[in-house]
Amino acid sequence: MPGRKNLPDTVRRSSRKAQDTWACAHDSAVDTYGEGERADRVAYTALRRGFEQVGDRWKPKESRRAPGARAPRAGGGVDADAGKQELYARARELGVQGRSTMTKPQLVEAVKKESRSRMRRPRAS
């Protein structure tokens, strides 16, 4: 698969299923639209359906919604429809300071902000 050779770093650090999802969607999009940014966007859209970005990798969603139902998104790979305990657990994984006193909207913003900052940091090899 040509898509497997060009995996983005965040997808490369993720599970095999996330990699397969991205590569398959990317290859299909390249066949339809050609190589480029549009194919990448299509692949990320397919990946977001079953995975959410946590820090510098993609993890499977723990969905409580009916199949096909769209989740409200806060952006940055954070599921704004998740429960407060789940958001708190994500904040703890990411090391967000002051998380115990935050409201749910504050947790969403803090997790989104920390996820973005981890994306920008260079990884030590």
CATH topology of domain 8-60: Rna Polymerase Sigma Factor; Chain: A (1.10.1740)
Flag whether the pTM goes above 0.75: no
Q: Which distant-in-sequence residues (6+ apart) come within 8 Å of 124 by Cβ?
A: none
User: Domain limits of the chain?
Assistant: 8-60, 72-125
The amino acid at residue 100 is S
Q: Which distant-in-sequence residues (6+ apart) come within 8 Å of 83 by Cβ?
A: none
How far is residue 26's CA from residue 112's CA, in Å, rounded to a whole number? 25
* Per-residue tens of pLDDT for the chain, all 125 residues: 565 777 888 888 888 998 888 889 988 988 888 888 888 888 888 888 888 888 888 888 876 555 555 555 545 567 777 888 888 888 888 888 888 889 988 988 888 888 877 776 666 65
Q: Which distant-in-sequence residues (6+ apart) come within 8 Å of 3 by Cβ?
A: 22, 23, 24, 25, 26, 27, 30, 43
